[in-house]
Structure 1
Amino acid sequence: MNPAGTDTTHDAGKTVDFFVSYAGVDQAWAEWIADTLERAGRRVLLEAWDFVPGSNWPALVQAGLTTAGRLLAVLTPAYLASVGAAAQWQAIWAADMGGRGRRLIPVQVEPCEPDTLGLLGSLTWIDLTDLTDLAGPGAAAAARARLLDGIRAAVTGQVRSVNPTPLPTRDTRDVPAAADESERAARYPGRPPLVWGLPPELVRNPRFVGRASELAELRARLTGFDRAVPGPGSPVPGVRAQVVHGLGGVGKTELVVEFAYRYSHAYDLVWWIRGDKMTEVVAGLAALAAQLGLAHVEGDEAAAAAAAEALRAGRPHRRWLLVVDNAVIGNAVIGNAVMGNNAGATATNPYLSRLLQAAETAEFGHLVITSRNPDWAGRATATEVAVLPRRDTIDLLRRHRAALEDAEAERLAAAVGDLPLAAEQAGAWLAASGMTVSDYLAALRVETRELLTRGKPDRYPFIVAAAWNLALDEIGPDEPAVVELLQLAGFFGPEPIPLDLFPALVVLGESNGELGESNGEGTLWSALSAACSSPLRWGDVVARLRALGLGKVEQGTITLHRLVQAVLRDRVPTSRHLEFRATVGWLMIRALPTAIQGNPAAWPRWAALLPHLQAQIEAEPSPADANAAGMLGLGNLAALYLQETGQLAAAVDLHTWVLARTEQVVGTDHPNTLVLRNNLALALQKAGRISEAIGLYERILARASRILESDDPNLGISRNNLASAYWAAGRIAEAVELLEQVVDDAGRIRGPDHPDTLLARSNLANAYQTAGRLAEAIRLHEEVLVDVVRVLGQEHLTTFLVRNNLASSYQASGRTTEALDLYEQVLTGREGVLGDNHPDTLLSRSNLADAYQALGRLPEAIDLYERVLSDARGVLGADHPHILITWNNLACAVAAAGRLAEAIDLYERVLADQRRVLGPDHRDTLTSQGNLANAYRAAGRTNADAADGADPADGADAADGAGD
């Protein structure tokens, strides 16, 4: 319900008379029906009017269905196919199954096949189908009378008599009549536009998919509240000038064509103008002037001005939609200077300005502009059109080749980056050529430019590559920095590229070509590095890139579509690709921090740049590349970053790739190769692939023993790592034996006070504890703590680690109060040195919660676990193994507190996550599995009940603290 100039929302406590249910494509009909009823004094609930910011639409619908006297179903084939609409009318049907209350009233506005009506076919409906597509006001009046007569009959229970009783209403004093009521009323959708000006080639696209929300939102932004029932003052205006912007090929024009057809019945005039050049705008407006009968105006420019004025004044048509397609330079509208080859044609365009003014002042006129440029300086609301959701891309592809398998369709949609024009082109070519999807994808990788010239869809004026080449050709010869930035960005990944990477090119420029030869016009990247040296010039380059519409510039990043990047790379000679990739690698080497482990501050930068590093890896750099060693080093660091953040499967894959390439470059026995093998084995161990890790560690130790000197520290590292894997596999005796050798060797080679020796002794004490030799473990931990405080000090990170390990031994031996005191000391120290949200600090907090639980201080334990989870998810991510362990420990505490049902729910969720992230055989997964089985038994559930979740024999009885 929407009186002019008044609050349009419905009070929760008030009922409505009618809920209008409709499919999105029938919004114009729904608005006309609702407007007609409200002018008759009824209260109406309509999604297009009442779904406003801050409203809970599902709750509003539920309230409307509960409290509305009746539901009006706008009956069309689209309505019958709508799942959401079916849920609405079926709710009313169930409440009035016999139809005695006549609460469900279909209003048919399009013919429907009888066999599609279902239950609705048993009802009597109001039929307006014979009054649609009729010209003149008589059809609207007849439809209005038939609608109101039908509603009156449903409400009163009798057909209208010769002298009908007026439709009962509530007090309508707040809905006064107006002299121009017929003009302000919603336009009758059964009447087509009086003037239709879409070009003949822009017929409605039978393969148009998706975009329902974009179409509805564009309609809502244009109309605002101008559909209001007349009242005091003027209608509340919508924003009647809308710019739809986005990448070439993303479907801006197709979206607006569909909009024009879908909502055509809401307008008396629909007109389309090409906006590439001022002359086209003038010609389009002059043609409109002729259509409007402005024959007295001489000359195209005068006629164009007269047409713009006629639109502003609403004479002879108040309700109009005018589309300006592909307005090249948005800034030209307000007279700003622009760069580029088309600047002369569009630097000043008073006719676009007049159209914007007409849209601002016209009461019911709407202007839609499509453009690559998002910058319209407040003169119109600009909205970006994004690529299609994946499901819609697959739908579009299958409209060309229906037999596409799911996996094929997914791969093809990903390859075209969900770009509608590229998907249309790919689908058309596959249908025409019979090429397999695998062959198409292979060709797309190696013959991008050639393939993107194939399969031009019939209704498109150009192919996808040509759309971008047109934009690239706009770049003037005096803009080499823009060209260089685009070319270089083409060699990154398709994810957002941080713009703060590029100023480092200033250093490269000063080095006089560190990475490559001169390009014949100066040092490689000379124009771009010069632009980067000046914030003002750099800003100009970024602004120009944004105006071209070839990428998205936002929040300090630039994002290019993967196919745009392919076209950009294809414009660069193959012989120079190595230079470009070397520059990208050089920029990342400079930008990425090398201190990753235990350093969350470095992780956001890695998260941002990792996709671009992976793009370089996928390009298979040659070992002969001068930058290859640096890229392999980055690859190793990237794999360590993935380990740190719990992305273990990806870490294993990347470690494997880096190791294989490094062996090609430096050989199998190089010390760097041994380090990389250790890193891979550690990733395998963390991923729960213990037997593979042990096998690799054993091979590493055998090779290291053969090629390294007996006093080489790396030999001790290899033994320590193998011992860790033995311990994880439960081979405790072998782990102890190896660690004792590591301690002896470290003391002999590096001395008893070397940090590596101290750490080795602490690891041996941990192994003693696991082996059940608690007294020896405690004694050794106490000795190590004294030594580490003496050598490294109270606030050293190793001191915190050893103190934490001693606390764990105290807790295992039942000395929980002493353990609690040590845990609190460690937590205080780590908070002071590392900060509240460092992973080690979070781990200390979790260990302290374990101690609280052991002491029976369950409320404190539960509260602390929950705090750890809240803080750690933002640092480590929801799927990090430490997070999953903490969820398990929280479940243990909740179970101990007697909240068994809640604990079972937690166990089930964490077990599902651990199976997904770590695999079914990981130690942590088996621990949670055993805990869930125990909880099932405690709840009296049988083994059959528990079978889907766990086998009690497979896991431990309880989860230990994560420890250090």
Structure 2
Amino acid sequence: MTAEESSAPAAAERVTISYAGFNRAWAVWIGDCLERNGWEVAYQRWNPPVEIPLDVALGDLLRVQGRVLVVLSDWYFKLGPRTDEEWESAVRSIVVPHVHRFAAVSVATQPLPGAASAFGGVVELWGTGVREAERRVVRLLGPAPGPADSTLGGRPGPRFPYDQPHVWGGVPRRNVRFTGREDTMQTIYDTLQRAEPGAGVVTLWGMSGVGKTQIAAEYAHRFSTEYDLVWWVPADQRGTLRQRLAELAPALGLTTGPEYGERLRAVGTALRRGTPYARWLVVLDGADDPEPISDLVPSGPGHVIITSQNRQWEEHNTVLHPVPTYDRDESVAFVRRRAPRITPAEADLLSAALGDLPLALDQTAGWLNDSAMSVAEYVDLLNSGSDLESGLRVAADFPMTYYTAFSILLNRLRETVPESVDLLRLCAHFAPGAIPVQLVRGIPQADLPEPLSGLMEDPLRWNTAINKLIQYSVIRWGSPEQEADPEAGTIHLHRMVHQTVRAGMSEEDRETYSRAVRRALSAADPQRAADTRRWSRFEKIVPHLEASGALHSRHADMHRLIFNCLNYLFLAGEYTLGIQLAERTERAWKEVYGEDHPLVWDLNSQYATMLRATGDYARTERIDRAVIEHLSAHRGPRDLTVLRAEEGLGADLRGLAKYDEALQVSEQVLADYRQLVGELDPRTLNARHNAADSLRMLGRYREALESDRANLQARRELLGSRHNWSLYSEIMYAWDLRLLGRYAEAQSVLEQSVEVHRNLMGENNPQTLTAELNHALCVLRSGDREEAGARLARLLERAEQVLGDASPLTLIIATSYSFTQRARGNLDLAREIGERTTKHYAEALGARHPYTIGTTVNHALVLRAIGERQQSHMLTEECLADMSAALGLDHPWTLGVALNAAAGRNLEGDVEGAAELSRETVRRAGAVLGRTHPLYLSSQVALATDLRGLRRRREADKVEEEALSGLISSLGSQHAHTISARARVRPYWDFEPLPI
């Protein structure tokens, strides 16, 4: 197409906006202005390959229809990069002859090259307000070619580039030297835009130092006009991630209390619902371990970008986008932006020497620009390795050139601002990633290494050292939103920098600096792990224990801190992290103290507690018995540490279904605690709680209720009603009420308790999940199957995300969800989940464990519902024999299986056998549970059905009348159980596992 043809009037309504990717926000806003005024707009990102001559690239712009509006800035002219001479030549040959086809606006903050004048009257938009900018854009192209597009009035237009999103938090400052990655930017944008709501998650994956964080930051800035909320979260540590998400609550205007968990829950709900903002972007930076944090990835109508070195994120419903090192053209362009004095040839030489690794290029070019050393001299130095730190070890994970280059930079920093290097060395003995400034500056003055003496107390020296490290991209500084205190910020230390600094230090220096960091951690010890208000402080400490050398420390303060952190991790439900910390600590203490040191045995007890939460009861029983045997021999059988291990043994025995032995152990521990520390000591109350658990497992629900009621009252008085132990007593007290058939009472207790749990402990804490499970089952027992099913579905999803699909709590929820789905007629789903749960129990606990037997009984009900009556009946009879052998004939679970077995006999034509079993079940249930319990009344309804089948109608009517009277009295005339009994629907029993 010729230039004349392309400028024909028929095509004059079309405008193509040519822009550098960095200026996309301006291009989109300008295009929206023109569309609203009747223009047809197309976009063309300006990024010509360096091998294409500039005049050819400019000539390609003339191939489009209509006019070309160029968004001019330093970025537009320097992409490539191109020299001013190239531009002068190209615009003379292309733009000047066709100036009527071109229009231009300038958004540059710096004077433009002389070539810009060739575009005619360039309209300046930088520094203008939105109304004036729009007026200038519209006037630039003359009268509108058609009526304004009325269809655009209903949709929100892009935000004016100078206006930030309504909520903007933690995003690093825009890197004005950002170079290349244009295809990556477009791929991320297209992927997120095409994603279904709730699925807009992209993971930028690549080696350390490759520029993932810079890409994410540039994306946040470049596409900010399309979001109402942009929130940046350091995600290398679960605690930091949770803290940053919780800080979003006040920024969203959410009305919450001061509790940490409440804010976190409110933020998750707001993002999921898209209120108050549906257009949101959350960046999780440095998320190198998906397992501990995958449950915290926000979902909803917005978008999430994750940066990580771990490609396992592709298993967590994200789109994985690999990030390679720079192309050579990108490397050269970046170096020249970072160091203008470096020529293209020198930039190429430097890029080759550093392997095109962005982090190395950034740090090296930064100080070379200020140095008198030439690039050639530097490359020779780099190749020779003569400026390496003494003792520097090169790891296989990263390029050798980076270690060499960074060593040279450190030496130069030492010559100019030595305190910056000393501060960096200190930071390198925290863990890489986010380091709270409060911890750094909280080191007692007496414990500071000599080179840093006085630095923390001198703002001028501190700022000088910090700013020099920031200047050369050695660290990144982050300040939390809503905070005026500079000590509330964070220092972000790249993993490569962290490893390189430590590798270049002598053993003596490493010990000096790590000791100072350990003193900082000790001084920050929150101590009381049961206080949920202190959990955010623990979250900041835990990641730094190993890096600081705390695990190998002989100092008693460090031992206390580690135990406190383990307690916190258990109470917060961070079992995986707790197990890892316990295992690493055990290895370290065995190295330092030997196999039989008392600390190692105390740790084993804590380790068993963490393992028990994952369901490994056989292993924890072996550990606890070994601990008890060893400590009893050395400290006596009534030592408090021995009693603590015996408490754990009682829980192990409950998990292994050795309920009688568990009760015996629990009652003995309770008696010993009462004698040693008194009736109202927290340890005594905990022992009474455990004894109630054993009673509940034995089906002695009334005794469990009495114990839990007394315990709940005592804990409230001693610890307060919002203490997590008091709240757990509340859960189990309500559980006892529900097992006794007092559904309304149980539900009334839990309605408020669930909300308090969410606010205090967070919605994904295992204790919160347990409270919600109990509440959902109360809803089910009240007759609302639809609501109960919906609650259990959400619970199961969260539990699988947080705890995994084989954890004890997840299996309890899955079992409950399965029989709820069967009751609602969703038989395929009920069967699938039920079979999976039974398989888990059989593999973990054995075929004769009551939980395996019970879930098999539930499966038999599914088989009956789908028409496989004979197989269902045979399976139920087998389960009746197995449960009787495991627990005895009078256990409520055995009675429940008998209720189902009698129904099977009736359906198979053995009415006499059914009636005999039903009569025996009624007798035993009345004696064990009482004549008002739902299981007793259900057994009566079943007996009436069997008697009617034997034509003994008078007796059947009498039994049925008694059952109906009992149901109306205990549950009400409109309860689902009462209505079913009145309609002569034969009842059944669902097995429900209990928490250990």
Equivalent position of 2:663 in the other structure: 736
Equivalent position of 1:562 in the other structure: 495
Which of 527, 532, 546 is the aligned partner of 2:470?
546
1:582 counterpart = 2:515: yes
CA distance in 1, matches of 2:171, 2:727: 55
CA distance in 2, matches of 1:608, 1:223: 57
Amino acid at match of 1:730: A
Paired residue secondary structure (1:850): helix
Equivalent position of 2:71 in the other structure: 237
1:700 counterpart = 2:633: no
Aligned-residue offset at 1:526: 2.4
Aligned-residue offset at 1:578: 0.8
Paired residue secondary structure (1:738): helix
Equivalent position of 1:893 in the other structure: 820
1:810 counterpart = 2:742: no
Q: Which string of whole-angstrom CA distances, capped at 9 and with x for unpartnered residues, describes residues 362-415 of structure 1?
A: 7599xxxxxxxx9999895746979x9997769x9xxxxxxxxxxxxx99999x
Instruction: Provide closer, same or farther for how the CA distance between residues 43 and 815 of structure 1 changes in structure 2, counting only shifts above 3 A.
Output: same
1:937 counterpart = 2:869: no
Q: Which string of whole-angstrom CA distances, capped at 9 and with x for unpartnered residues, describes residues 725-763 of structure 1?
A: 101111111101111212222233333444433432332
Q: How does 1:154-193 map to 2 (within 5 A)?
A: 192-193=52-53
Q: Which string of whole-angstrom CA distances, capped at 9 and with x for unpartnered residues, describes residues 457-488 of structure 1?
A: xxxxxx33343345445537452332222222
Equivalent position of 2:545 in the other structure: 613
Paired residue secondary structure (1:614): coil
Say whether the 8 Å CA contact 1:471–1:550 is kept in structure 2.
Answer: no
CA distance in 2, matches of 1:445, 1:695: 49
Equivalent position of 2:645 in the other structure: 718
Paired residue secondary structure (1:688): coil
CA distance in 1, matches of 2:622, 2:2: 74
Q: Which string of whole-angstrom CA distances, capped at 9 and with x for unpartnered residues, describes residues 640-665 of structure 1?
A: 44444545445334313323433555
Equivalent position of 1:467 in the other structure: 405
Instruction: Provide closer, same or farther for how the CA distance between residues 425 and 579 of structure 1 changes in structure 2, counting only shifts above 3 A.
Output: farther
Paired residue secondary structure (2:491): strand
TM-score norm. by structure 2 comes to 0.49
Amino acid at match of 1:656: E
Say whether the 8 Å CA contact 2:389–2:504 is kept in structure 1.
Answer: no
Which of 415, 418, 422 is the aligned partner of 1:480?
418
Q: How does 1:23-34 map to 2 (within 5 A)?
A: none
Aligned-residue offset at 1:683: 1.9
Instruction: Provide closer, same or farther for how the CA distance between residues 479 and 530 of structure 1 changes in structure 2, counting only shifts above 3 A.
Output: farther
Say whether the 8 Å CA contact 1:497–1:557 is kept in structure 2.
Answer: yes
Amino acid at match of 1:766: D
State the Cα RMSD in Å: 6.4
Say whether the 8 Å CA contact 1:224–1:239 is kept in structure 2.
Answer: no
CA distance in 1, matches of 2:46, 2:805: 50
CA distance in 2, matches of 1:527, 1:896: 71
Q: Which runs of 5+ in 1 are unaligned?
A: 1-30, 55-172, 177-183, 197-218, 244-255, 261-269, 273-284, 293-306, 320-351, 366-373, 397-409, 427-443, 457-462, 517-522, 947-951
Instruction: Provide closer, same or farther for how the CA distance between residues 44 and 654 of structure 1 changes in structure 2, counting only shifts above 3 A.
Output: farther
Say whether the 8 Å CA contact 1:241–1:360 is kept in structure 2.
Answer: no
Identity of aligned residues (%): 21
Which of 760, 772, 778 is the aligned partner of 1:845?
772
Aligned-residue offset at 1:241: 1.4
Equivalent position of 2:293 in the other structure: none
Q: Which string of whole-angstrom CA distances, capped at 9 and with x for unpartnered residues, describes residues 321-350 of structure 1?
A: xxxxxxxxxxxxxxxxxxxxxxxxxxxxxx
CA distance in 1, matches of 2:577, 2:109: 54
Amino acid at match of 1:549: S
Q: Which string of whole-angstrom CA distances, capped at 9 and with x for unpartnered residues, describes residues 189-215 of structure 1?
A: 99941789xxxxxxxxxxxxxxxxxxx
Say whether the 8 Å CA contact 1:224–1:238 is kept in structure 2.
Answer: no
CA distance in 2, matches of 1:935, 1:500: 59
Amino acid at match of 2:646: R
Q: May I ask how many residue pairs the two structures share in their alignment?
A: 618
Amino acid at match of 1:558: I
Which of 592, 596, 600 is the aligned partner of 2:529?
596
Paired residue secondary structure (2:477): strand
Aligned-residue offset at 1:554: 3.8
CA distance in 1, matches of 2:2, 2:541: 52
Say whether the 8 Å CA contact 2:55–2:91 is kept in structure 1.
Answer: no
Say whether the 8 Å CA contact 1:241–1:380 is kept in structure 2.
Answer: no
Aligned-residue offset at 1:720: 1.6
Aligned-residue offset at 1:581: 1.7
Amino acid at match of 1:739: S
CA distance in 2, matches of 1:790, 1:237: 70
Say whether the 8 Å CA contact 2:15–2:69 is kept in structure 1.
Answer: no
Paired residue secondary structure (1:593): coil
Paired residue secondary structure (1:565): helix
Equivalent position of 2:316 in the other structure: none
Aligned-residue offset at 1:723: 0.9
Q: Which moved more, 1:691-700 or 1:781-790?
A: 781-790
1:820 counterpart = 2:747: yes
Q: How does 1:283-682 map to 2 (within 5 A)?
A: 288=85, 310=88, 314-315=91-92, 380=176, 382=178, 448-449=392-393, 463-469=401-407, 471-472=409-410, 475=413, 477-505=415-443, 507-508=444-445, 511=446, 514=447, 516=449, 523-526=450-453, 528-531=455-458, 534=459, 538-555=462-479, 556-591=489-524, 593-597=526-530, 599=532, 601-607=533-539, 609-616=541-548, 629-663=556-590, 665=592, 671-682=598-609
Aligned-residue offset at 1:818: 3.6
Q: Which string of whole-angstrom CA distances, capped at 9 and with x for unpartnered residues, describes residues 162-193 of structure 1?
A: xxxxxxxxxxx9899xxxxxxx9999999941
Aligned-residue offset at 1:848: 1.9
Q: Which string of whole-angstrom CA distances, capped at 9 and with x for unpartnered residues, describes residues 141-174 of structure 1?
A: xxxxxxxxxxxxxxxxxxxxxxxxxxxxxxxx98
Amino acid at match of 2:547: A
CA distance in 1, matches of 2:848, 2:530: 23
CA distance in 2, matches of 1:393, 1:796: 44
CA distance in 2, matches of 1:46, 1:829: 57
Say whether the 8 Å CA contact 2:667–2:691 is kept in structure 1.
Answer: yes
Q: How does 1:144-163 map to 2 (within 5 A)?
A: none
CA distance in 1, matches of 2:51, 2:598: 81
Instruction: Provide closer, same or farther for how the CA distance between residues 721 and 855 of structure 1 changes in structure 2, counting only shifts above 3 A.
Output: same
Paired residue secondary structure (2:604): helix
Say whether the 8 Å CA contact 2:650–2:663 is kept in structure 1.
Answer: yes
Aligned-residue offset at 1:679: 0.4
Equivalent position of 2:188 in the other structure: none
Instruction: Provide closer, same or farther for how the CA distance between residues 675 and 846 of structure 1 changes in structure 2, counting only shifts above 3 A.
Output: same
Aligned-residue offset at 1:827: 4.9
Paired residue secondary structure (2:441): helix
CA distance in 2, matches of 1:922, 1:450: 55
Amino acid at match of 1:496: A
Say whether the 8 Å CA contact 1:762–1:784 is kept in structure 2.
Answer: yes
Amino acid at match of 2:53: P
Equivalent position of 2:150 in the other structure: none
TM-score norm. by structure 1 comes to 0.50
CA distance in 1, matches of 2:809, 2:60: 50
CA distance in 1, matches of 2:395, 2:722: 63
Aligned-residue offset at 1:690: 1.3
CA distance in 2, matches of 1:611, 1:32: 65
CA distance in 2, matches of 1:550, 1:699: 49
